[in-house]
Amino acid sequence: MSLLIFIVVIGILILVHELGHFFSALLLKIKVEEFAIGFGPAIFKYIYKDIKFRLNLFPLGGYVKIYGQENDQKGKDSYSQRPVWQRLLVIIAGVFMNFVFASLLFFILLASKGFVDRFDYSILDTQTQ
């Protein structure tokens, strides 16, 4: 049971991370060729607007295949033809999404406890004996 929970949690973290790369590329109008979660053989495939979506057997990794990222392919929608700031934004977006996701979970946790913000002690209330 613990292994299953571990795989689900890692799978969610990977999904959030890869969605950061995916959406930043789409927003910058860089062509995304494939979005995949996991490795190994595909258990689910779907093509939507020329983007291949895959769910693979082992959800312990993932990738977003962006046009022009590995080769110096030409074109207005190629990653390699974009300015450095746009390429950097696509790369950093994955880590940024993990940070946003962790912050959201932290906020939900605080909200579920009622945002308790009082302390039972103070540094200024120390007494010397």
Return the active site residues. Answer: 18
68 neighbors 80 (Cβ within 8 angstroms): yes
Residue type, 33: E
What residues contact residue 52 under an 8 Å CB cut-off, 6+ apart?
A: 33, 34, 35, 36, 45, 46
Radius of gyration of the chain (CA): 21
Residue 123 is given by DSSP the state: G
Buried b (16+ CB within 10 A) or exposed e, 22-58: bebbeebebbbeebbbbeeeeeeeeeeeebeebbbee
